[in-house]
Amino acid sequence: MRVIKHVVILLGALAFSASVSCSGGGVGGLDGGGVGDLASGGIGGSGIAVGTVTAFGSIFVDGVKYKITGDTTITIDGEPGKEERDLAVGQVVTVKWKTDTDGNLLAESVEFDDNLEGPVSIEPDTGELIVLGQKVLVDELTQFAVGPLATGKFENQTDVSEGNILEVSGFEDADGRISATFIRKKADNSDDFLSGDEDKQFEVQGTVDEAPDGGIFTINNNSLRVDASGLDISDFEKGVLVQVKGVEVKSDDFDGTTLSATAIEIEEEDLGGVAGEKVELEGIVTRIDKSNQILVEFFVDRQRVRTDVNTKVFENGTPASISRIKENVKLEVEGELDKSGLVSAHKVFIRKPSQVKIEAIAQQVNLNDSTVTLLGIPVTVNDLTQLDDDRDDDGADAERRFGLERIELGDYLQVRGFEDEDPTGEVSVIATKLERDDPPEDPDEAVSLRGAIKSVEDDSFVILGVTIQTNAATDFERFASLDDLSVGSLVEVKGSLISEKTLLAVEVKLKIKND
């Protein structure tokens, strides 16, 4: 956890009656999507929430609303006195809250600290992003933003260029990579970023690999060398969690990047709360310490969590075994702190990958059911759905207040989510992310659809209840013909509608693991 314990070195000489709609059936509501005890109202007390910002209007973290008042302290990268508008959807924040007499969750403080800030390099063979020696993973839920010194389009990973200065927020996984929930391009290059402001520095967090030798040490499994020459790091030892600020330099005797440190802070590795406080914690399982049929003791980031016989585990709204808790699984924990600082888990919600993609115009909006229909597919927007408005003609305030009630028929929407397992056979989707954007200029790519194949015919197939028609002009990627596809294959289609539920495919791409 990014809670500062104490500052070791400052500057070197050189250098809950929350407003949520809990839907039934275990989707995005109680016992389903991860909005549980905190949102039940009238609970009293206080707590800590660590998770992704999903919306504004006060602040929503993992679907739970925390009311921002005049007494709320908002701190960004160690600087207090910030405002709600300085935060963004996708950032991982820590909220300390208490309840008022009506059961509302009041944010006492909101803190955001990025994981990384520095120049990016791009692996030529894989396209992987590496910032200050650390791999950064991008997925369907990663939010992209642009800073004041950056130029050009920046909407997805393909817009990242070698040397861009990136600010990354996300969750560390078991392999030491950062699964990015938010990436902002701060500047086009290091010179633009560092010039004219002596306070600007690169930042990285990591664990010290070995005790420093002559002011030099490495972090994050030798992925970055830190040169702290001239600074007092006598109390540093192996395993200490540090945040380093400095200026990147190249070194002939180290195969990688060296950071010339101007400031180093030792950080707490847990939440730092008090016994009895309620906790909502989102992240990735980084380590399993103990595991049997009734108990799992594991770490989310560096926070220790323990289940017991009373812990309820859910996977996509369905009760699941605790054996589903494994390394690199993304989940959310609800529980409370004990005297040792461990989180005793009451509920664990395992998150489903967002394999479904729909990009099309809104055909119908139903506020009563919290659904919007695209391609005849009802899409449910719930408390955990990340909401973003990227349309060019909308102001900043409208973008931050974007929600289902602001969608109009004909709006071009981009949805990421997963197929709801409806026992009646009706096809529907649960949205994990919904964006409004300007439609593409090419009419042949006005519609995009990704999902698992339900059936295959000679020249067509069905995904999510939509018939995909192919012809001689359709481009097949990673397969030669429809004979190579089977039920369950994951495909992505671009094309145009020729009837209400039929899409003429311009391109069909077979998706593979890690796409």
pLDDT tens per residue across span 350-367: 987 889 999 999 999 999
Residue 231 confidence (pLDDT): 84
Least confident piece of the model among 262-266, 308-312, 405-409: 262-266
296-312 mean pLDDT: 93
- Give the residue from 268, 200, 256, 191 showing the smallest Cα distance to 226: 256
208: which strand partners?
219
pLDDT (tens digit, 9 = 90+) per residue, 268-277? 777 878 889 9
Residue 16 reports pLDDT greater than 60: no
Residue 397 confidence (pLDDT): 58
149-158 mean pLDDT: 86
Residue 300 confidence (pLDDT): 95
Range with the largest mean pLDDT of 191-195, 198-202, 268-272, 429-433: 429-433
Residue 169 confidence (pLDDT): 97
- The rounded mean pLDDT for the chain is 85
Q: How far apart are CA 367 and CA 369, in angstroms?
A: 5
Rounded to 5 degrees, φ, ψ at 41 are 85, 145
How far, CA to CA in Å, does 435 sit from each of 55, 255, 294, 404?
12, 41, 41, 10
pLDDT (tens digit, 9 = 90+) per residue, 52-81? 999 888 899 998 999 999 999 999 988 999
Q: How far apart are CA 121 and CA 363, in angstroms?
A: 42
207-216 mean pLDDT: 87
Portion of the chain with pLDDT greater than 70, in percent = 87
310-321 mean pLDDT: 88
| DSSP secondary structure of 221-245 | TTTEEEE-TTS--TT--TT-EEEEE
65: which strand partners?
60
Residue 251 CB neighbour total at 10 angstroms: 13
Residue 40 confidence (pLDDT): 45
Residue 328 reports pLDDT greater than 60: yes
Residue 2 reports pLDDT greater than 70: no
Residue 17 reports pLDDT greater than 50: no
Residue 442 confidence (pLDDT): 79
Residue 495 tokens read as 């094309």
Residue 37 reports pLDDT greater than 60: no
Residue 14 confidence (pLDDT): 30
Residue 34 reports pLDDT greater than 70: no
- Per the model's pLDDT, the better-predicted residue between 152 and 329 turns out to be 329
Q: Strands, DSSP E only, in 88-176?
A: 92-99, 105-112, 116-122, 129-131, 134-137, 143-149, 165-172
- Give the residue from 141, 151, 121 showing the smallest Cα distance to 133: 121
Q: Where are the alpha helices (DSSP H) in 6-118?
A: none
Q: Strands, DSSP E only, in 57-207?
A: 59-61, 64-66, 73-76, 92-99, 105-112, 116-122, 129-131, 134-137, 143-149, 165-172, 178-187, 202-207
pLDDT-based confidence at residue 326 (cuts at 50, 70, 90): very high
Range with the largest mean pLDDT of 40-44, 379-383, 424-428, 443-447: 379-383
Does an H or E element contain 295, and which? none
Residue 508 reports pLDDT greater than 50: yes
Does an H or E element contain 400, and which? helix 396-400
Q: How far apart are CA 113 and CA 169, in angstroms?
A: 8
CA 233 to chain centroid, in Å, comes to: 33
Q: How far apart are the first and last CA of the chain?
A: 29
Residue 471 reports pLDDT greater than 90: yes
Q: How far apart are CA 60 and CA 47, in angstroms?
A: 15
474-501 mean pLDDT: 93
Residue 42 confidence (pLDDT): 39
Residue 107 reports pLDDT greater than 50: yes
Residue 426 reports pLDDT greater than 80: yes
Residue 293 confidence (pLDDT): 75
pLDDT-based confidence at residue 513 (cuts at 50, 70, 90): low
Dihedral-angle region of residue 396 (phi above 0 means left; psi in -120 to 50 means alpha; beta otherwise): alpha
Q: How many CA atoms lie within 13 A of 465 on its CB side?
A: 18
Residue 376 confidence (pLDDT): 93
pLDDT-based confidence at residue 44 (cuts at 50, 70, 90): low
410-439 mean pLDDT: 88
Q: Strands, DSSP E only, in 339-489?
A: 343-350, 356-361, 364-366, 371-374, 377-389, 412-419, 429-437, 447-456, 460-463, 466-469, 475-477
Rounded to 5 degrees, φ, ψ at 444 are -75, -10
